[in-house]
Amino acid sequence: MHVIKVRSHQREELVEFTDQVEEKLKEAGAGEGVCFLYVQHTTAGLTVNENADPDVPRDMLHALRTLIPQHGMGFRHGEENSDAHIKASLVGTSVSIPFKDGKLLLGRWQGVFLCEFDGGRERQVIMMLR
């Protein structure tokens, strides 16, 4: 089991942390298997998507904000972050990525992102190799 800390700086932000995962994977010396990442929070998620053009994460946050705005949907939860809880469940709290020869089997354009929906904060991600 490994713990990865990821820091966000804005209310909504996609923070790539592929390098931190690759580093832990290298340290662990594991050959082939599945890398599980799990975020221990209810207003943040994890996803794999394009890390080349920063407009991709920007467009994703923009679309999610358009569909599920912070205010105006008649939410009752008193902390004004129901939108963040919902977005977290839509992208999901975990990702599973295969690895081989100690490296993640990511596609050419793929990176691993923390999806921050109620930041900025430090978030904790649990990593398990199996």
Could you write out the DSSP letters of every residue in 99-122?
EETTEE---TTEEEEEEESS-S-E
> Does residue 58 touch its own copies according to CB under 8 A?
yes
> Does residue 26 touch its own copies according to CB under 8 A?
no
Residue 84: CB minimum distance to its own copies, A: 10
Q: Rounded to an integer, what distance in angstroms lies between the CA atom of residue 128 and that of residue 21?
A: 11
> Does residue 96 touch its own copies according to CB under 8 A?
yes
> Does residue 59 touch its own copies according to CB under 8 A?
yes
> Which residue, 72, 81, 92, is CA-closest to 121?
81
> Does residue 107 touch its own copies according to CB under 8 A?
yes
Residue 127: CB minimum distance to its own copies, A: 8
> Which residue, 34, 45, 35, 33, is CA-closest to 6?
45
Measured from the CB atom, is 56 or 120 closer to its own copies?
56
